[in-house]
Structure 1
C-alpha cells in the first residue's frame, strides 16, 4: 500500500513539473487571410521572444496561463493567453491593420476656369441655346439694375478714347467695322444676350471700337472670337 502511495505521489509530482515546464507553442499570424511577417511575439511571463517568418509562422516556448504579446508597427497589438484548450493547437492569430495616418495639410481654395468648362464657353453655350430658341421680335424685357447715367458714361468713354494711343483710322474704316459687327450680330444679340437697352447699343459699339485689341479680333472675322470679345467688352462696359 505504501509502495502504491509513493508511486502515485511521484506521478503527480512529475505531472506538475511537466505542466510548469514551457513547451513549444506553434502558430500563424494573418490579417485579412494573408500571412503577416516580422511580427514580434513576447512571452510576458518568461520575457522570451521570437518573430514571425515570411509565411507568418512562429514558434515560442510557453505554457498554460502564460500570455503571449504580439507587437507590430503596422498592426494593432494583441495579447493571447495560453489555455488548456489552445496549448496543444496550432494558434491562428488574426491582427487588425492600423489606419494610415495622413499628415495635416493646408488647402487653399482656388477657382479656375479652363478647357470647355471656361467662363466664355459657358456663355457661348447659353448664347447658342438662346439663338436657336423662338424669339418675339421687337419685344424687350431686360432691365439694368439701378439704372445707368448715360451722360456720365459718355464722358467716361470719351476720356478712355482720348487717353489711349491707337493707330489712326478713318471714319470710313470705323463705320465699316461697325457695319460688319451689325451684319454678323442682329439687334436681338445685343438686347437679349448682352442685355443692353436699345439706346445703349450704339454707345457700346463706340466703346468697343475704341479698343485696339478688340479691332484686331474683329479684323480676323471669326464669329466665335468676335462673340467672346463682345461679351468681354460688355462686362467692362457695365462696370463704368
Structure 2
C-alpha cells in the first residue's frame, strides 16, 4: 500500500512541476554591461529571485502576470507577461537613476560662537576699507593736468622704421587672435563630470570649516549641489581645478545658503540672521 501512495505522490509532484511555465531572461545596464544581484519579482505570486553573476534569471509566471526588476541606484523595470516571453528570453535593460537628495530642514550647528564663525568668512576690516578707497579713487576723474615729456623735433633721432609695420605689435595681435580661436568655450558639465567634480572637492580640498559646523557628509553634499547650481562651479572649474577660487566662491555660497535654509530658532541663529 505504501509504495502505491509514494508513486502517486511522485506523479502529482512531477505533474505540478511540469505544469509550471518559466520565463528566462537577462538583466543588463543601458550600456550593455551585465547586472548581477538584480531582484526579479512576480507580483502575482510574490516570488522573488536574484539574477546570477552574468545577469541571467529564471522565474515561474503565467500569461498576464506582472514582472518587476529592481536594482539599487537604477530605475525600476515593469513588464506584463505575454505569450512571446515564453518562447524567447526577456532582455531587461536598467537605466541609472538620477542622484536626488531629499530636502530637509537643516539645523545649523556651529562651534558655539556663530558670530565668530561668520566673521571668519569676511575679509579684514582694513582690507575692505583699503579696497573701497582704492575703488573710489580709480573711479574719480583726474583734476590735474599730467605733463608730457617730449623731445624737440630739432634734437629727435631719425625714425628709420617710418612707414613700416611694427613686427612686435603684429606678432602680439596674431598671437591674441590665435589664443581666442583655440580657447575652448565653457560647456555645461554632464552628470558624470559633475559627480567627479564633487568627489575631487571632498578628497583634495580642506573642508574643515564645514565639518566644524557639525555637518556630516550628506549635509556637505547638499551644500555642494547648492553652491554648484548658484555659482556654476562644475562648469567653470571641472577642467581647470582652481582650489583658491573654488574655496572663495563656496564661502560666498555658504552665507547665502544659510539665509535660504529653515534654521531652527536659537539665539545663535538669530544673531546670524540679523547680521547677514
Alignment TM-score, normalising by the size of structure 1: 0.37
Q: Which has the higher contact order (CA 8 A, sep 6+)?
A: 2
Higher Rg: 1
Alignment TM-score, normalising by the size of structure 2: 0.33
